[in-house]
Structure 1
Amino acid sequence: MNHLTRSLIIAPQWIGDAVMTEPLLRRLHARGERLTVGALPWVAPVYRAMPQVTEVIEFPFAHGGLQWRERLRLAKQIRGQFEAAYICPNSLKSALLPLLAGIPKRIGYLGESRVGLLTHRLKNPTKGQRPPMVAFYSALSGDTDTAEDRPQLILQPSEITATLIQLGLTHQGYHVFAPGSEYGPAKRWPASHFADLAMQLVLPVLLLGSGKEAELCASIADRVNTQHPGRCLNLAGKTTLEQALCAIAASKSIVSNDSGLMHVAAGFGVPQVAIFGSSSPLHTPPLNPQATVLWLKNNPHYQPPLDCAPCFKRICPLGHTRCLNDIQATDVLLFL
């Protein structure tokens, strides 16, 4: 009987990046590696939607600081359990646990002075030369042909059905809007535009996001429901990530900014419209045959051209945010 290499995946800390590591995990699983993912609690549910993952360990870490005590305690618990570790983040602290746990093979990109922490090192491309993120992560497998990689997420039908019952929803009986973006307002389509779009749809709209986006979503729901009572259901900050994944997987379609939930929808193959502003779909596209990307930068009919895009800024440095403001609800409606 062949021995399965026991591998630990150190997951990124963002939902979208977690989704984009799925092709890497699929490659590793296909060649006979038994995969355990170590992830922060708010990312862990994404990996439970990847059937190639045997186990998910939720890290007891928080943002900032090395948190030596917690890392040493966990390293002691997992010592001897793994032969290889794939370290997706570029930070120094993300490479500490595999070293402290004595994992003999530690693969990752160079960065943050962690040469001595890695045994297999990939050169970190400069920002201008960095490939799309899916290919960036897939390269950790050692394979060079990553052109056909597309993230795929899978949930059990029974789990989806149970969640829809909890939320009072029906399969494909609603659209999802994800109007937030953790990065900043230069990645957010205006709330008024989301509201205008909701008022032109026949099916109800489910608003999803984190607790930080509850007020933003409330402003959309209040405006829409004033004219169309009950059209919008605001669940921002009221669902678990597991529930949000189920709701997206069962939706008629989703409209979002360049955000983590955009990548979740792509992983489920849900019809989607992804609206890009300060960022670039050349770097983090929704890899989904049912995705439509709206980005005025590559629209030859939009004048004057957006020479400033992509700026990758949190707030528009020119103060106009034309890249988002000038995409109208009617532009999105064409694809729903």
Structure 2
Amino acid sequence: MKYLIVGPSWVGDMVMAQTLFITLKQQNPDAKIDVLAPAWSGPILQRMPEVHRSIEMPLGHGKLNLGTRKKIGHSLRVEHYNQAIVLPNSFKSALIPFWANIPIRTGWRGEMRFGLLNDIRALDKEQLPLMVERFVALGYPKGQAMPSPLPRPQLQVEPASVDSALHRHRLQVDAPILGLCPGAEFGPSKQWPAGYYGEVALNLLKQGWRVWLFGSEKDRQITTEIMSYIPDPHRERCCNLAGETTLADAVDLLSKTTTVVSNDSGLMHIAAALSRPLVAVYGSTTASHTPPMNTNSKTLWLKLECSPCFKRECPLGHHNCMKQLDPDMVMAAIEQLGREQHESLIGVHQE
């Protein structure tokens, strides 16, 4: 079997798509899986051993450009794919597999895709509440039961690549490392307050930890604000990496963290796929749809009457879903993760 997967446009969704790749390989270990995806996703796909190759999608999110899509589709005919699985629900995402003449084209009903898809599924959101369940279901014949539990995303990093990133950014790993991921591409409603991140960071810096702040250039403002809460004597053990790293470097450096605290974001899913002890802070969204998939994570959500609202900004103007989730709750979760990790290591030694 040779598959073409049309990948999603968001970092977290791309990480979760690995569950589908794993299940396809479980069904057919010799299967070849190519993923059509934006260029930024290359470093993530390269760290998924199930993926044969990534094919760059040159069009940005939301751009139709029929001529380019048709050209890409025609160019892929020589690959003789057996099946295409289209993960996005948009009309335009189903065009390239159609023009590539792929005989089986699978996807959820989505936007008027009859004819473009010939293995079209009707999604029951109550039966499949998790994003990963919806991805995996497309890898099985219609109506067939899925495995339980589902496989978890597991990104694999190369030690040489990790060492290179550490050297390039002049980072030391001589102490426990707290990774902070305070950004959220979706909007400010998903962001835990900078002062709270600063309080947690300072607490652990006083215990001898190092702190690395991750994010894109867009997150530089909030990471700089977090740094402002760190007094000078401790700031030298705190490194603001937002906007300074490639996505590849961010993945490799997150693999060296001792614990990660994150909003509901793409970096949260990367940390989970690296099996990092993780505290995931939810406010306007909920873990009932896109939770971290690792077993060593804690999700914090206050379940206020007004949440989840799934809005980019708090429609009520108070942001209580995040403001009332105080730093003590996150510190308690970090300490619990530490105890569980310690007990797990003791159990391994006893065995």
TM-score under structure 2 length normalisation: 0.88
Partners of 1:47 and 1:174 in 2: how far apart?
Answer: 26
Shift of 1:226: 4.0
Ranges in structure 1 where 5+ consecutive residues have no aligned partner: 298-305
Whether 1:28 aligns to 2:40 is no
Task: For residue 245 of structure 2, give the secondary structure of its aligned residue in structure 1.
Answer: coil
Shift of 1:241: 0.5
Partners of 1:152 and 1:122 in 2: how far apart?
Answer: 27
The number of aligned residues is: 323
Task: For residue 279 of structure 1, give the secondary structure of its aligned residue in structure 2.
Answer: coil
Q: Percent identity?
A: 39
Partners of 1:253 and 1:315 in 2: how far apart?
Answer: 28
Whether 1:12 aligns to 2:12 is no
Out of 143, 168, 171, the residue aligned to residue 166 of structure 1 is 168
Task: For residue 39 of structure 2, give the secondary structure of its aligned residue in structure 1.
Answer: coil
Q: Which amino acid aligns with 1:89?
A: P
What pairs with 1:1-336 in structure 2 (closer than 5 Å)? 5-32=1-28, 33-81=31-79, 82-126=81-125, 130-142=128-140, 143-149=144-150, 150-171=152-173, 173-201=176-204, 202-226=208-232, 228-297=234-303, 306-336=304-334
CA shift digits 1:35-90 (9 cap, x unpaired)? 01111012222111110111111111112221223222222221131121110100
Ranges in structure 2 where 5+ consecutive residues have no aligned partner: 335-351
Shift of 1:24: 0.7
Partners of 2:182 and 2:148 in 1: how far apart?
Answer: 30
Partners of 1:176 and 1:11 in 2: how far apart?
Answer: 27
Moved >3 Å (runs of 4+): 170-173
Partners of 1:67 and 1:227 in 2: how far apart?
Answer: 54
Does the CA-based 8 Å contact 2:9-2:61 persist in structure 1? Answer: no
Task: For residue 200 of structure 2, give the secondary structure of its aligned residue in structure 1.
Answer: helix
Shift of 1:125: 3.1
CA shift digits 1:135-165 (9 cap, x unpaired)? 1111011152244122221112222222222
Shift of 1:273: 0.3
Cα RMSD, aligned residues only: 1.6
Task: For residue 205 of structure 1, give the secondary structure of its aligned residue in structure 2.
Answer: strand
Shift of 1:227: 5.7
Shift of 1:282: 1.0
Shift of 1:197: 1.0
Task: For residue 246 of structure 1, give the secondary structure of its aligned residue in structure 2.
Answer: helix
Task: For residue 20 of structure 2, give the secondary structure of its aligned residue in structure 1.
Answer: helix
Partners of 1:246 and 1:222 in 2: how far apart?
Answer: 26
Does the CA-based 8 Å contact 2:70-2:95 persist in structure 1? Answer: no
Partners of 2:128 and 2:23 in 1: how far apart?
Answer: 21
Query: What is the aligned partner in structure 1 of residue 349 from structure 2?
Result: none
CA shift digits 1:274-326 (9 cap, x unpaired)? 000010111111111110111111xxxxxxxx211211121112221111101
